[in-house]
Amino acid sequence: MINKNDELIKRKEEAKLGGGLDKIDSQHKKGKLTARERIELLVDEGSFEEIDIFVKHRATDFGLDKQHYPGDGVITGFAKINNKQVALFSQDFTVFGGSLSEAHAEKIVKILEMAMKIGVPVIGLNDSGGARIQEGVVSLGGYADIFLLNTLASGVVPQISVVLGPCAGGAVYSPAITDFIFMAKSTSYMFVTGPNVVKTVTHEEVSFEDLGGAETHASKSGVAHFIYENEIETLTNVRRLMSFLPQNFMDKPIDVEFNFEDLFPDERLNEIVPENSNKPYDMKQIINLIVDNNDFMEVQSNYAENIIVGFARIGGMSVGIVANQPEILAGVLDINASVKGARFVRFCDAFNIPLLVLVDVPGFLPGTEQEWNGIIRHGAKLLYAFCEATVPKVTVITRKAYGGAYDVMNSKHVRGDFNFAWPSAEIAVMGPKGAVEIIFKKEISNSKEPEKELENKLSEFIEKFANPYIAAERGYIDDIILPKDTKIKLINAYKILKTKVDKNPKKKHGNIPL
């Protein structure tokens, strides 16, 4: 007779093999880790506490009554990352291809419910063939149960989805509701319908990679926020992201030690913005010089590159950065940039992460394609996000701030707390040349030398208006600062704003222009 303690140990060891050694070997041959190997890489060593290891499906049709695996294709539990508690689930492709059954879904729902109760982030490691066909509508119901919990948890605790295998059909909508999606190149796929269905319906020939691979979603669709070369790099960067985030909406990001003795004006910042306002420069140079240790974790780096968003620390404080990129499309705001920026701003506001906005924007992108596809509606999303945000918000205008885009990019008028400008800043309704051609149209056209007259008027206009001083006289700019002093000014501003309290009017929720 087997000792009961020994039986427990034996059962747990068998459960840890998932679908068996042959299936584990198959997973490794595809260049993929197993569900348990992923957890070990992701969390602090020895911190994982598993629950529901013995759960099995209850289906009996199509021979499922003869196929039972403890855990039913998903590992769930709690662990620590950077010594902070998280809840997580990891789908096991070795068991029924990681397909989602009623029991499988119940395990994930339990984790989400518990995470909300105790206020900890949720990380989902997705590697699933989709709904378990043999269970029919029961598995579809399981997906809907998860979608509901993802929605209810949104803005309560951070939710991170890591796609490390196929993710098709209904399975894509859980990651889509979560805050950030990580993908690994060559092994991660997301699509509503696969290449075969696409061929049948639209007659398009497309590969898995081109339809829904990591690089497609990182550069074309914007679905993926982070992509990396392999699973190890992907999971390492999930840990990195978690270091910038708080545990829940009532918490604040943890400050890290910062040596203020090393803080001094950085002359290199004085040399970045060209004297010619039409010349591009790389805003990332400015970002890297003002954040701690050049450590900037960019989000959606290959999508809508005319706007930059990401996480960093300034003086040891975690901040979310939104910046125009003059090197791409002159930093203009278009549909994709507006949506990308709006979603990031709303995440930071939901989880008490202060915002830094670096502005060099000539306006919104003109053209029929933008207008017909709704630049008005999509641009309003970014405006709405900044207007409703109550976290500390600091703006630095490095060069251009023209037209409605000036208003949108966290101006003083939409509750920017501290708004600074460099001496190179130009705050105006439009660029000098366009403004002069409208204001002095008659004088120029009636002149004997129209080109010379245009040049003279342009020179006068630039001297009077293409600077930050009129805005500063009005109080729209709190201070005009030397570029080299930017980091010192930012640290002091965020210290002052540590105790900021701001509230929006009481309501059920607003109606963002989706």
Task: Note if 405 is an active site residue.
Answer: yes
Written as one letter, the residue type at 62 is F
Q: Which residues contact 485 (CB under 8 A, 6 or more apart)?
A: 265
Closest CA to 398 of 386, 406, 389, 408: 406
Catalytic residue among 98, 165, 170, 403: 170
Residue 498 gets which letter from DSSP?
Answer: G
Task: Note if 212 is an active site residue.
Answer: no
Catalytic residue among 119, 141, 155, 169: 169
What is the distance of C-alpha 327 from the center of its chain?
21
Residue 182 to residue 301: CA distance in whole angstroms: 12
Q: What residues does 125 pair with on adjacent strands?
A: 90, 162
- Between helix 450-465 and helix 432-439 the angle, nearest 10°, is 120
User: Taking a C-beta distance cutoff of 8 angstroms, is the pair 327, 280 a contact?
Assistant: yes
For residue 412, what are the CA distances in angstroms to 148, 188, 397, 502?
A: 37, 43, 12, 15
Task: Note if 416 is an active site residue.
Answer: no
Phi, psi of 133 (to 5 degrees): -55, -40
Identify the helix (H) or strand (E) that includes residue 199.
helix 195-202
Task: Note if 169 is an active site residue.
Answer: yes
Residue written as tokens 């109080």?
Answer: 475
Q: Which residues contact 78 (CB under 8 A, 6 or more apart)?
A: 48, 49, 51, 85, 86, 87, 88, 114, 120
Q: Are strands 122-126 and 166-168 parallel, antiparallel or unpaired?
A: unpaired
Q: What angle do CA 114, 115, 116 make, to 5 degrees?
A: 90
Catalytic residue among 87, 131, 323, 405: 405
Closest CA to 191 of 204, 164, 210, 219: 210
Residue 22 gets which letter from DSSP?
Answer: H
Q: What residues does 11 pair with on adjacent strands?
A: none
Residue 327 to residue 36: CA distance in whole angstroms: 43
Residue 64 to residue 66: CA distance in whole angstroms: 5
User: Taking a C-beta distance cutoff of 8 angstroms, is the pair 132, 101 a contact?
Assistant: yes
Closest CA to 18 of 159, 105, 161, 127: 127
SS3 content of the chain, % helix, strand, coil (to 5): 45, 20, 35
Region at 485 (left for phi over 0; alpha for psi -120 to 50; beta for the rest): alpha
Residue written as tokens 């490390």?
Answer: 164
> Which residues are identified as catalytic?
169-170, 404-405
